[in-house]
Structure 1
Amino acid sequence: MDSSSKEITHDFPPLFKVYKDGTVERYMIADYIPSGHDPTTGVQTKDVVVSAETGVKVRLFIPKLDGPSKKLPVLVHFHGGGFSIGSPFDTPSNNFLKCLVSQVEIIAISIDYRLAPENLLPIAYDDSWAGLQWVATHSLGLGPEPWLNEYADLGRVFLAGESAGANIAHQMAIRAGTTGLVGSKVIGALIVHPFFVVGKEVDEMYKYICPTSSGCDDDPKLNPEVDPNLKSMGCDKVLVFVAEKDRLRNIGVGYYESLGKSGWAGKVELYETLGEGHCFHLFNPNSEKGMALMKKMVDFITED
């Protein structure tokens, strides 16, 4: 084999690197947690293919229910990982969502969008929108998934994501407001430690995985402040989470401020965790600050 084929042409630690022959190597490989019953939380999970054409799947999380069946609010989740790593099936996503679902009695649906760089953006956004539309098909109890037909209240939908997933959740709220989501009502969005870009410096990784983007702050997907559709966010409220030691902390605060002055009619709130870094709650969910963050999420979902 030509040794030059193993020359690295693009390197974006801690996410991935690309060799001259096109091979992609990720710095972190997501583990896999099988679906089924979790004896600790009582949460049941199931994996469902939502598009035979693309192979996109979702993992459903449903809480332990005592007594007669009842309609539950729905949380649609988009995992983080720079659009290029992570999964609804890995340990961090599963631990976080099982804990949240068991505390708030909500159905969670985490979308396994196709990853870059093999699948260039906007594929992750489009897969996520297709997954959200698939959820909405159950609004009359006639969709393909029995759990959602029986238990889902699609008049109470929440969007959630962390890091790049928060970017996706924001975009889904924009699409819900501008395109519409038939049969469903998005109540709120939980935007956790969001990935956006501020300033003229190009984000080379994003530009590589999204060749149509400039990679800097004139792209509305990277800088909501320049998005003319920001005031059309299709939800009633947004909770923005930031962490004091996160390099993206000021970007999250800027997003909160931009949304507040955009003319959007909803309510936006900022919640900061002191002394912690990026997405700390996914890796230490049982810490005091991790549990406090979780309680804030529960209160946001359950408040009138």
Structure 2
Amino acid sequence: MGSNESSNEIDRKFRFLTAYKDGRVEIHYPTQKIPPSNDPNTGVQSKDVTISTEPPVSARIYLPKILDPTKKVPVLYYIHGGGFCFESAFSPLFHSHLMALVAEANVIAVSLEYGLWPERPLPGSYVDAWAGLKWIASHVKGNGPEPWLNDNADFSRFFMGGDSGGANMSNFLAVQIGSYGLPGVRLIGMIMVHPFFGGMEDDEMWMFMYPTNCGKQDPKLKPPPEDLAKLGCEKVLVFLAEKDHLREVGGIFYEDLKRSGYKGALEVVEHEGVAHEFHLFDPAHDKSLSLVKKFASFLNEV
């Protein structure tokens, strides 16, 4: 067999990636990045910050138009999806979505740029997400490294959420907060947009990217009832999409949470006739606008 043929011999192929027997990896979807920008129409500003250099973790922060400097606003910690191996907090899709959400909800948003597989094997993304959470919490006393958070953030109205794999990581963080606390921060709610959890073919991909996983019952992949019962938030909102390949596992997560003994409020919203991440790819769609409005209202109902 020639060298070219052997180098193209596939070891494993999944929804988002192909691994070759020579060690090469091909990610099926490119990741585009754009710089931060300001919106003169809404007054929303954005900028990028460094959370840590080793490992490299950063974020894009969004500040709404501040009409009254004496009144602080809620904080949203957002974690993007992308199968743990592509997409970015700096991509056009997520930048546009967060700009619109911040304008609608009048909140500060911190959108995490975490390490991606294969450069950052799982559970690296979860570690990065926890590092981002602790960095945000370092501003509770008004003396953190980021002035936008020091001057404008109301940590008694803190929210966390994400889409797809980002929703999965948000759940992991909420379990950690419920177990160990986060001093000075009151986690009001968690928003799960088309969440990824175990119970489908993508389980194998997740375990391939996570060499030290605990199998299909790994608590990050399939949160047990005892973990769900101690989520460190007061309410949860789950978005589902009828034609989403994750629709079934998202619904199972909702039902598992409902039966777990979780004491907070729980709400599910399903959009009919649309697929996974429809709101990112067609933000002008009436159902996309509805999702943003519902997300925003959830952030403002305390």
TM-score of Structure 1 vs Structure 2, range by shorter chain = over 0.9
Where does structure 2 lack aligned partners over 5 or more consecutive residues? none
**What is the identity, as a one-letter code, of the residue corresponding to 2:232?**
G
Instruction: Tell me what 1:210 maps to.
Output: 210
Question: Displacement of 1:202 after TM fit?
Answer: 7.8
Encode CA deviations 1:155-200: one digit per residue, 9 max, x unaligned. 111111111111011111111111211221111000111111127x
TM-score (norm 2): 0.94
Q: Kindly, what percent of the aligned residue pairs are identical?
A: 46
TM-score normalised by L of structure 1: 0.94
* Maintained 8 Å contact 1:32/1:89: yes
In structure 1, C-alpha distance between the alignment counterparts of 2:23 and 2:40, rounded to whole Å: 43
CA gap 1:298/1:206 in 2 versus in 1, 3 angstroms: same
In structure 1, how many angstroms separate the alpha carbons of the residues matched to 2:214 and 2:131? 25
What amino acid is the match of 2:103?
Answer: S
Preserved CA contact (<8 Å) 1:220 1:227: no
Q: 1:239 maps to what in 2?
A: 237
Do the aligned partners of residues 81 and 202 (structure 1) sit closer, same or farther apart at CA in structure 2, a change above 3 Å counting? Answer: closer
Q: AA paired with 2:208?
A: Y
Unaligned runs of 5+ in 1: none
Q: How much does 1:110 deviate?
A: 0.8
- Matches for 1:248-267 after TM superposition, within 5 Å: 248-267=246-265
Q: Is the 8 A contact 2:18 2:27 kept in 1?
A: yes
User: What does residue 288 of structure 1 align with?
Assistant: 286
- Letter aligned with residue 210 of structure 2: C
Mapped partners of 2:213, 2:225: distance in 1: 14
- Look up the equivalent residue of 1:219 and give its one-letter code: D
Distance 2:55 2:213 in 1: 23
Question: Number of residues paired by the alignment?
Answer: 300
Superposition deviation, residue 264 in structure 1: 1.4
Alignment of 1:191-206 (within 5 A): 191-198=192-199, 203-206=203-206
Q: Aligned pair in 2 of structure 1 residues 23, 40: CA closer, same or farther (>3 Å)?
A: farther
Any conservation in 1 of the 2:225–2:260 contact (CA below 8 Å)? no
Aligned CA-pair RMSD: 1.7
Letter in 2 for 1:262: S
In 1: Cα distance, 2:87 partner to 2:236 partner: 24
User: How do 1:113-192 and structure 2 match up within 5 A?
Assistant: 113-192=114-193
Report what 1:35 is aligned to.
36
Which of structure 1's runs of 4+ aligned residues deviate more than 6 A? none
Taking structure 1 as reference, are residues 183 and 11 closer, same or farther at Cα in structure 2, changes over 3 Å only?
A: same
Structure 1 partner of 2:84: 83
Deviation at 1:215, TM superposition (A): 4.3
The answer to whether the Cα contact below 8 Å between 2:88 and 2:94 also exists between their aligned partners in 1 is yes
**Residue 36 of structure 1: how far off its partner (Å):** 2.9
